[in-house]
Structure 1
Amino acid sequence: MKMFEYMGKEIFAEFGLPVPKGRMVSNPDDAAQVAKEIGSAVVIKSQVLSGKRGKAGGIKFAENPEEARAAAQELFGMTIQGLPVNILLVEEKLQIDKELYLSITIDGTAKKPVFIASSHGGMDIEEVAEEYIVKQHIDVELGMQGFIANEIVRRMGIGLKSPQGKELVSIIKTLYKVFTQKDAELVEINPLVISGDKVIAADSKVTIDDEALYRQVDLPRVEERTKTEKAAHDLGLAFVELDGDIGVMANGAGITMGTLDTLTHFGGKPANFLDAGGGTGEEGTAKALELILSRNPKSIIINIFGGITRCDDVARAFASVKKKVGIPVPVVIRLVGTNQEAGRAILKEVGIEAYDFMQDAIKETVKLAYA
């Protein structure tokens, strides 16, 4: 479960981590009131479960309450990465002398928590050279000991005897407590700001392990799925909205990922990830198609390798949707496996010739989308 930035900062404050003064608001008047209470310049941040808010225009600055109200009014009308802005975080604008990066997550290969740190934090952390990234695996039996935190700070190039270095050691040790005590999958601060002698968490990203939520009864529950994704989940389908324009349906997580990758390779932009799963019958397949059509794609690729999934069921569902509600965009189908010939015969009746190979089907899909 992903948490909004303001929620992550509330957790940080609970553990004694330094965060800017501020609070969450849900209307422009409250934004102005918080700015008045702070009494100095403020930053107003859209609260959506998405990165790159700054580049999307989802973060604004204000020098006084009236500017804060106007900026909030503008932000409330925005959509970022397909997500509407319904709440904002208004907090003091920090003096930024340097931006650092800290996070802790699970390394699945090593089967250990791994601390990741850099003295080059900020908006483009993904582009920081490997030589500036510090990685330190943590033995869960040993935990985050002082000498480990010292070593991380030393490798970051921050003086251990400086006020900032001492504060950073304390923050690293506390961040590990947040990670373990809140059953987190990820705890990230980017940027962690050096402001004079102070070190302050200017941002937060916290993701809680869904399987441990029963232990975290005090944490608020956040619904991170879009309306369409929730509808798909209720139907037992794995569906994720993407920002492209070609609808995708396949039967299995692996083949769906392969379809997305191949589509991108040939110049297509997927509008969604939809794994209809093994054994999805006619009704489930029909509903999956309706979900794809709700995204208004330019074309659709259906990639079925039938094992448990029967090709004739998929074909029958497609033919039913086409006859009942119509499909206003080109559809390309790759159909091989169980009951393949029966499925292809059904498709032929509605004017579709199925492909044998995924690459050929995807090339045609891209061609039809952008013709």
Structure 2
Amino acid sequence: MAPRNLEADEREETRAGESSRRDLVVDVICVVAAFALPLGFWIALALGHDVAQKPLQRIDLVLATLAAPLVWWRRRWPMTMSIVVSVIASVSTLAAVPQAITLITVAIRCRPRLVVAATAVFVVTGSIFSVVQPNPTLPLWAAVLAVVLIAGILVAWGSFIKARRALVDSLRDRARRAEDEQSLRIEQARQLERTRIAREMHDVLAHRISLLSLHAGALEFRPDAPPDEIAKAAGVIRTSAHQALQELRDVIGVLRAPNGGEADRDRPQPTLGDVPALVTEARRAGATIDLDVRVDDPAAVPAVIGRTTYRIVQEGLTNARKHARGAAVRVTVSGDQGDGLTVEVRNWLPLRAETSQIPGAGTGIIGLGERVGLAGGHLEHGPSTAGDFRLKAWLPWTT
């Protein structure tokens, strides 16, 4: 797997920062909730209200006040804080809120066996409280049953939060992996396209350089040749060198894969003149294609531009067969020297067009854009305002 890009790392850091801030807010709210009851009693006592007349009630208030701040450390030591607060709650009514908060935290952050242990402590201490401070209107068995039900509700709530967080984390992880894999596929598609271009350019440059070597060798071995033959050979050398340099400029920056493509070197490279044959072949397969080539001299089109034009038409016809099988296609090639060459492939989308079952990876257009960019042009693709799909490229055609 390729290393993740900076954008993904920044998004991850942003999510981590947001999570930390959210946890801090939740911690503050929990501590405030835990302090709410004992703080109210302390305020009432300060105002002169005797709300804690019995010694046991004063002990209850003091223990609840000591239990409230323990909520702050419940994330670091969830099991310990839950047991300590539950023990305090066995003799303190006002400690019920921090006891519930710590049990929910255990259900969220701990393994099932620890959750069962914390729940058992909760039930036992709650039962002890029912014995220490019995409710005169409620039998002991009913009070214990109520404690069990409350513990079950709290654990269920914490388990739900835990499952939801796990689901969200799983979806985020899957989305991140899909994004990384898509970036990797795009990069691989670009590299493969650069490799294919490098192979094609090797054929062209090898041809140009072999011509240079041939004519330079003739001049070397026949220095006494007639002046017109020497001038002719020098002109061929100059033209071939100029064309070779032009081809080389088009392929600067393209990396060629090692030990690859030896079998493709003998394959003839397509040109603009091969486009009609490509369309004819597609028509034989059943496609309805309207071809319009408005170029005065197709042979004058540079090899790189002609080859790129061929690939654009090829990709457009392939996409039409994949995504709009049976739909009519119109191919237009127009331009001249100085203005550049415009290539456009449109496929109409009838209401009941037969679609192909051929899967597409979505990297053909990416590779084509890389090829057009290296040729010095630009590529456009997508639905047009007329309701059809358009693949359009402009390629430079200098004099």
Query: Where on the TM-score scale, by shorter chain, does this alignment land: which range?
Result: under 0.3
More helix by share: 2
Higher relative contact order (CA 8 A, sep 6+): 1
Larger Rg: 2
TM-score between the two structures when normalised by the length of structure 2: 0.19
Q: Which is strand-richer, 1 or 2? A: 1
The two structures have a TM-score, normalised by structure 1, of 0.20
